[in-house]
Amino acid sequence: MPTVVTTAPTETATTAPNATAARPARDAPDTGADFRRLAALPAGPERDRVQEELLRAWLPMAHRIAWRFRDKGEAIEDLRQVAALGLLKAIRRFDPDRGPFEPFAIPTIRGELRRHFRDRMWDVRVPRRVQELRNTVRAAYAELAHVPGSRQPTVTQLADRTGLGEEQVREGMAALESYSALSLDAANGDADTDDGGPSLTDLLGEPEHGFELVVDRESVKGAVRRLPQRERALLYLRFFEDRTQSQIAERLGISQMHVSRLLIQTCARIREETLQPTERDRP
């Protein structure tokens, strides 16, 4: 059966704030023999069981690392779960012939926690590639801005510093403003005024339904032009002059039933031609 990541409360979870560099044995257990056994086992229930035992043995260390990220706006239980996932990845990737487990596991767990904050704690979701660009540009900006006598770094300077293209730098700079969201109710005027000025919602435009009508008319224009004269007149009387079928029948000298059939057939023809343009409609 697959390994289940568990973050059940442990004694270390309450003692983590007072932890020091010299860890007690329960925080860094002696599991060398278990790791060598795990490496020799094929996939199956026995390997899953040994992996689960190693996970439980090292969870206190993972919880200790998670505790160090506790003041960054995320629930400690969520951080412990993320740390447990990082621990599981470390156990699966560890090669016991390359040294002790702890120095290998700690960077893996920390990296999983940092990725969690990078991917989950943004108010405005952006792709990971853009997040990485943001971090690179921000670091270069800070370095250049602290040079004595320097002005605000330009896009060209940032590109030279980071080795990125200027377009990538601009993308990273735009992402700098995407880490947190601004409420649409926030004032957008003079902060010194009593009401703070109009909100962002007040400045947003409203949907213009007339645009949809323009699009619809342009879409059917070609099909209407190819209709026979009588069908064009029929559509004009019905949809532009708002005549009833009886009035149209009297005007065209045909029966009301015939008008109804013509309307159905004509509208169906226009719909078909609009959804499946003919060669003359294609560029």
- Check if the beta carbon of residue 65 is closer than 8 Å to that of residue 110: yes
Residue 212 lies in a domain: no
Model pLDDT, residue 91: 92
Q: Which residues, listed in sequence order, are joined to residue 187 by a DSSP beta bridge?
A: 199
In whole angstroms, how far apart are CA 69 and each of 28, 84, 91, 103, 198? Answer: 20, 14, 22, 19, 39
Predicted pLDDT at 122: 57
Q: Please, which pLDDT band fits residue 78 given cuts at 50, 70 and 90?
A: confident
Whether the per-residue pLDDT at 238 is higher than 80: the answer is: yes
d(CA 276, CA 218): 15
Q: Where are the alpha helices (DSSP H) in the chain?
A: 11-15, 32-40, 45-67, 76-93, 102-120, 128-145, 155-162, 166-175, 200-203, 209-225, 229-235, 245-252, 256-275
64/80 Cα distance (integer angstroms): 9
Task: State how far the Cα of 190 lies from the Cα of 111, in Å rounded to an integer.
Answer: 43
Residue 174 lies in a domain: yes
Any domain includes 202: no
Is the pLDDT at 214 greater than 60? The verdict is yes
| Any domain includes 259 | yes
Q: How many whole angstroms separate alpha carbon 149 and alpha carbon 93?
A: 49
CATH number for position 228: 1.10.10.10
Please report the DSSP string for 113-124 in residue order: HHHHHHHHS-SS
The predicted structure's pLDDT at residue 226:
87
Output the CA–CA distances (angstroms, integers) from residue 70 to 102, 113, 117, 135, 279, in the order listed: 21, 11, 11, 22, 64
- Cα–Cα distance for residue pair 68/86, rounded to 1 Å: 15
3-state class of 135 per DSSP?
helix
107-141 pLDDT tens trace: 999 988 888 776 665 555 667 777 788 778 877 88
pLDDT at 172: 81
Look up the CATH number of the domain holding residue 96. 1.20.120.1810
Per the structure, the count of domains in the chain is 3
- Mean pLDDT for all residues in the chain: 76
Quick count: other Cβ atoms within 10 Å of Cβ 251? 14
In a domain, 92, yes or no: yes
Closest CA to 114 of 58, 74, 173, 57: 74
Exposed/middle/buried for 259, CB within 10 Å: 0-12, 13-18, 19+? buried
Between 44 and 130, residue with greater pLDDT: 44
Q: How confident is the model at residue 49 (pLDDT cuts 50, 70, 90)?
A: very high
Look at residue 243 and tell me if it is in a domain. Answer: yes
213 is a domain residue: no
pLDDT of 240 over the 60 cut: yes
**Of the listed ranges 3-12, 173-182, 245-254, 271-280, the one predicted with least confidence:** 3-12
pLDDT for 19 equals 38
| Of residues 74 and 210, more confidently modeled | 74
173 Rama sector, left if φ>0, alpha if ψ -120 to 50, beta otherwise: alpha
pTM of the predicted structure, to 2 decimals:
0.40
Residues 115 and 25 in one domain: yes
Same domain, 35 and 105: yes
On whether both 110 and 141 belong to a single domain, the answer is no
Return the pLDDT at 188. Answer: 56
Whether 134 and 165 share a structural domain: yes
Binned at pLDDT 50, 70 and 90, residue 191 comes out as: very low
Q: How far apart are CA 219 and CA 277, in angstroms?
A: 10
Q: Rounded CA gap, 58 and 45, in Å?
A: 20
State whether 114 and 145 are in the same domain: no
Provide the residue range defining the domain that includes 92. 11-120
Does residue 94 belong to any structural domain of this protein?
yes
pLDDT tens per residue, range 30-42: 888 989 989 899 9
Q: Which has the higher per-residue pLDDT, 125 or 227?
A: 227
- Give the per-residue pLDDT at 227: 87
CA pair distance 12, 255, nearest whole angstrom: 90
- Choose from 64-73, 100-109, 165-174, 272-281 the range with maximum mean pLDDT: 100-109
